Structure 1
Amino acid sequence: MLPPASESGGNRQASNAATYDDHPMSLPFLRLPHYISAFHLMIYLHAWSHLRPSKRRQKSMLYFLKLYCTVYLMLPSCVVNRKHYKSVRKRRSEGEVEMRVRTDARRQAILETATQVFREVGYERASIAMISARIGGSKTTLYGYFKSKEELFAAAMTGAMEEQGRQLTAMLDPSQPDLRRVLESFGEAYLRLVTSDDILAIVRTAVAEAANSKLGPELYVRGPKMGWEHLTTYMSHLKERNIINTTDPRVAAAHFKGLLEAGIVEPLQYGAEAEFAPREAVVAAVDAFLRAYSRSGLVIG
């Protein structure tokens, strides 16, 4: 059934109005030159019919008439509608954000899949083709995110290490009064991390590739070095508060690291059994560190 005539006419008028308002010439200050231009053109043609100029003047007048009409006709297409421009810019911005979100999600999916492949078959046997097949894309797509298998491995492994490293460094709170408890909690979490199968595999791969590529140094800088810089900062806070006695917080951090790893990390990297249980190693490491660095009577107990 057709709508009532008044409603149909109203909709049609509203549609025409919306279309007209969207047009660049809808702005009053742009419509005015059209009226003036039409008036000038009428006067020009009237003068032409009465003056009957010479051929030379006719030629000159025709040239200016063509130029005038050209500018008159091109004016609407040369003016940018501000509302339309804003709409286009907004849609473009929204499209860029959506594309960036999709790109980040795709990159994260690649890293997760690559991590699984590296854990299953190891760095040597893993390949870009294998990872791209697992994802369901092409090698070209993968190379658009990572230039080589080496770069992909570093990104996949350091992503996991950085997250675990943030959890570790969160334990190093200088405001906590019980230094022994802080060091023991940190030590236990640290040993769980460095003795896990994933981290041991990463370290072995980095050492194996150190002579042939920059993979080893990159993994070290983005992993262990970053973590021990946080520990050095923590030792600096302890030194400033006169809780530990040291002239160099970096040396204190390195000593504590060595005490934690002694008899555990090195045997495991070779595939052998650890010399001590983790809890035993942590307690012994904290005792030795506090005897060497604590001020008398403050943290020994």
Structure 2
Amino acid sequence: MRTKTETRRQAILQAATEVFQQSGFERSSMSDICERVGYSKPTLYSYFPSKEELFFAVMFEATEIEFQTIFETLDTGMDDITKSLENFGVGLLTLLYSPQVQAVRRLVSSEAGRSDLGKKCFELGPARSEAAITAFIQAAMDQGQLRKANPRVAGLHLKGLLEAEWIEGFIFQTLQELPKKELLLTVKRAVAVFMAAYGKD
């Protein structure tokens, strides 16, 4: 039964992915997804209570492996912490500003006050990111790679610096996807400022 349930869930996610890609979130409906996958509405709603939650699940499934890979780059064992932070920054911005994740972030912003989608996304995205970055920075401070400070605040500063050059374009929807060359330069500038503030003298 468990295998059958997971198989059905994956079939729904695949159908939803195809529908969202073809029609976009606003123009897609749960009826469209039912028709594509061949299941009834009660079956679909038993897995995903709303279109918003189904959309989030599609995006989460698509980005989770990349999310885990990015945070594996936070390696305090590296001799060059600047390089470790740059690797992390490139991965993080590539993920956050991919068209798929931008779509999720905008959806969350518009739906957060009307449902618990915002809370779910925060717990699975920013809250996990914050915990991982805080732990990394605390370890780097303990090892003498960074000066002693509040590791959570330092992590928030790092993320803020990484997004500083792009966040307004995202908010006002003038940004589609980061050019790779500009992304690399952005990360180098952000990490340089972070190290000026938190690097060892």
What TM-score do the two structures reach when normalised by structure 2? 0.90
Task: Determine the C-alpha separation between the residues in 1 that align with 2:4 and 2:193.
Answer: 51
2-structure distance, mates of 1:194, 1:119: 18
Q: How does 1:9-48 map to 2 (within 5 A)?
A: none
2: distance between equivalents of 1:259 and 1:212? Answer: 30
CA contact (8 A) 1:119 1:198 kept: no
Task: Quote how far apart the aligned CAs of 1:158 are.
Answer: 2.2
Verify the 8 A CA contact 2:134 2:151 in the aligned structure 1: yes
What residue ranges of structure 2 are gaps of 5+ in the alignment? none
Structure 2 counterpart of 1:146: 48
Identity value in percent? 38
Tell me whether 1:288 sits opposite 2:190 in the alignment: no
Opposite residue 41 of structure 2, the aligned amino acid is K
What are structure 1's unaligned runs of at least 5 residues? 1-98, 297-301
| Matched residue, 1:277 | 182
Query: Which of residues 58, 62, 71 is equivalent to 1:160?
Result: 62
The count of aligned residue pairs is 198
Separation in structure 2 between the aligned mates of residue 116 and residue 216 of structure 1, nearest angstrom: 24
2:113 alignment counterpart:
211
Return the match for 2:161 from 227, 247, 259. 259
Contact 1:158/1:219 (<8 A) preserved: no
Which structure 1 residue ranges, 4+ long, deviate > 6 Å from structure 2? none
Alpha-carbon distance, 1:131 to partner = 0.7
Residue pair 2:56, 2:104 contacting (<8 A) in 1 also: no
Q: Which amino acid aligns with 2:161?
A: L
Higher Cα Rg, which structure:
1
Compute the displacement of 1:258 (Å): 0.7
Calculate the TM-score normalised by the size of structure 1: 0.61
1:212 corresponds to which letter in structure 2? R
The answer to whether the 8 A contact 1:195-1:265 is kept is: no
One-letter code aligned to 1:197: P
What's 2:125 paired with? 223
Aligned-pair CA distance for 1:259: 0.7
Deviations 1:241-298 (A, max 9, x none): 1211132110110000011101113213322257x921111110111111110112xx
Give the superposed CA RMSD. Answer: 1.9
Matched residue, 1:100: 2
Q: Do the aligned partners of 1:260 and 1:282 also contact (CA within 8 Å) in 2? A: yes
Q: Spell out, residue by residue over 1:32-78, the C-alpha distance to the aligned partner (whole angstroms, 9 max, x if none).
A: xxxxxxxxxxxxxxxxxxxxxxxxxxxxxxxxxxxxxxxxxxxxxxx
- Could you say which structure has the greater relative contact order, defined with CA pairs below 8 angstroms and 6 or more residues apart? 2
Q: What do the CA deviations read for 1:207-236 (whole angstroms, capped 9, x no partner)?
A: 111221111221122112212211111111
Mapped contact 1:209–1:215 kept (Cα < 8 A): yes
**Cα distance between partner residues in 2 of 1:184 and 1:194:** 15
> Residue 197 of structure 1 aligns with which residue?
99
For 1:156 and 1:287, the matched residues in 2 are separated by 36
